[in-house]
Structure 1
Amino acid sequence: MVESEGSNQAEKRDVAPSTALEYLDPSYWDERFSREEHYEWFKDYSHFRHLMQQNVKPGSSVLELGCGNSQLCENLYDDGVTDVTCIDLSAVAVERMQKRVQSKGYKEIKVLEADMLDLPFGDECFDVVIEKGTMDVLFVDSGDPWNPRPATVARVMLMLQGVHRVLKPNGIFISITFGQPHFRRPLFDSPEFTWSVEWNTFGDGFHYFFYILKKGQRSIDGEKPGNKLPVPSINLLHEELESEDYLFRNLIDEMDC
């Protein structure tokens, strides 16, 4: 059943937090997931499917960080990528996602309660790791985006170290985010990582970033052709002004002031 646009927007207003700091509170997510059936941060799969298919092949073992109630794992499954493991910190999200994928017959999809800052997996066990809007939550109390707080940097680096560890040689980390390259590159390009860094953009008014980090393929200077792209201007559509993506971005901007 397809929800009406009006009811969907009413639900978004009902579950959206009053301050960005609530996104760091696990109880907020438990309460939200207990009431919300589905929400796609940063557009649905159709907007970046072409980018995903270029980098994630059938037969790939995939780890999704912070699955929430997104349909990303189901979209991947429908495209032939069936070896998918989803994790989320919220026990409520995990329980509901487990029931959902089982009811739809996606038997190979595994959904686990786990912390992306302490991944409970062995070294080099996934071909692809994907996060979609999950890392952005770590930045809600970052302060100046040009010089984020040390605690923020430490959390982000802990996440990236875990991702790098569980990726197989030549594995790929895909990060779908608001974060622009001049803010993300200093973290992605840390000397301890062996991945190359490339990106594309997608979206209409908002332009989201689709980063592709390929382990073991870092060049000497860290640059790849096509990376020096101008940041697109923002020309918001009405439905984007109504979206939680827009609210989320504004809440963070307000905290950075």
Structure 2
Amino acid sequence: MDTDQNPKAKEKKTVGPSSTSAYRDPHYWDERFSSEEHYEWLKDYSHFRHLIQAHVKPGSSVLELGCGNSRLSEELYKDGITEITCTDLSAVAVEKMRENFSYKGYKEIKVLEADMLDLPFSSECFDVVIEKGTMDVLFVDSGDPWNPRPETVTKVMAMLEGVHRVLKPDGIFISISFGQPHFRRPFFNAPKFTWSFEWITFGDGFHYFFYISRKGRRSLNCEESCEKHEQPSSINLLHEELESEDYIFRMNIDM
């Protein structure tokens, strides 16, 4: 039962796996979601709501990748964005999310079990695709961040190709991540993509990145487009800011 339904219910403290490789294991997520009611990666909606509202309008068809037990889609729905499809690789997460939305009367939101590397949707069918911390899973154990392992590159490109395909000609891809722009740029700016590449930061102490890619808007001067928003000169990993983000501490991040 969702804690919003029962105020007295206590959510169990999230405990990360013994190794980062578990984040790529569907069984880990099934087990975790079976007992965990809610967890937000990379801050909750209130921290970037102003950015969402600037780019996503009511009436937009939205696809959320890797919904897990996040309340992102629920918050979008409350803001009038009701044409939402959520996907997750975990059957447990999907079933619990369906039960939650049904209980709360959010009948318009669809929840499907799907792999983000092989999206089961027709081409050009969504106005917006959003992922929050989901793509970061693909970078677990990726090796040198300047030169990721070939298997990492293959998976990230498969995800981005799928997102690009399902977006409408003028669609927007929003990626919320702690991955820095100089590590993400080579993927987003692959020649096969027609989208632009911009970012905005949010958060206190530790800066998270809100990437915005507009399909069909790629600049002829890519470097100028990529640097539209100023990158922080430094990023401080504050323990008090990140102590609940066990995922981040278990990632191999080269600062």
- Aligned-pair Cα RMSD in Å: 2.0
The aligned residue for residue 229 of structure 1 is: 231
The aligned residue for residue 247 of structure 2 is: 248
Q: How does 1:12-31 map to 2 (within 5 A)?
A: 12=14, 15-31=15-31
> Residue 37 of structure 1 aligns to which amino acid in structure 2?
E
Cα distance per residue 1:186-235 (max 9 Å; x no partner): 10000000000110011112211000000000010223263342344316
The aligned residue for residue 42 of structure 1 is: 42
Task: Please list every run of 5 or more consecutive structure 1 residues that lacks an aligned counterpart in the other structure.
Answer: none
1:122 & 1:111 partners in 2: Cα distance?
16
Q: Answer yes or no: is 1:11 the counterpart of 2:10.
A: no
> Residue 152 of structure 1 aligns to which amino acid in structure 2?
T
Q: How does 1:69-84 map to 2 (within 5 A)?
A: 69-84=69-84
Q: How does 1:156-195 map to 2 (within 5 A)?
A: 156-195=156-195
> Residue 253 of structure 1 aligns to which amino acid in structure 2?
N
Provide closer, same or farther for how the CA distance between residues 183 and 120 of structure 1 changes in structure 2, counting only shifts above 3 A: same
- The answer (yes or no) to whether the contact 1:207–1:232 under 8 Å persists in 2 is no
Please report the TM-score for the alignment, with normalisation by the length of structure 2: 0.92
Identity of aligned residues (%): 68
1:235 & 1:174 partners in 2: Cα distance?
24
Provide closer, same or farther for how the CA distance between residues 144 and 77 of structure 1 changes in structure 2, counting only shifts above 3 A: same
2:174 & 2:234 partners in 1: Cα distance?
20
Provide closer, same or farther for how the CA distance between residues 231 and 75 of structure 1 changes in structure 2, counting only shifts above 3 A: farther
Q: What SS class does the counterpart of residue 95 from structure 1 fall into?
A: helix
The aligned residue for residue 130 of structure 2 is: 130
Higher helix share: 1
- The answer (yes or no) to whether the contact 1:163–1:173 under 8 Å persists in 2 is yes
2:230 & 2:150 partners in 1: Cα distance?
27
2:236 & 2:83 partners in 1: Cα distance?
37
Task: Please list every run of 5 or more consecutive structure 2 residues that lacks an aligned counterpart in the other structure.
Answer: none
Matched residues, number: 248
Please report the TM-score for the alignment, with normalisation by the length of structure 1: 0.91
- The answer (yes or no) to whether the contact 2:141–2:252 under 8 Å persists in 1 is no
- The answer (yes or no) to whether the contact 2:68–2:93 under 8 Å persists in 1 is yes
> Residue 250 of structure 1 aligns to which amino acid in structure 2?
F
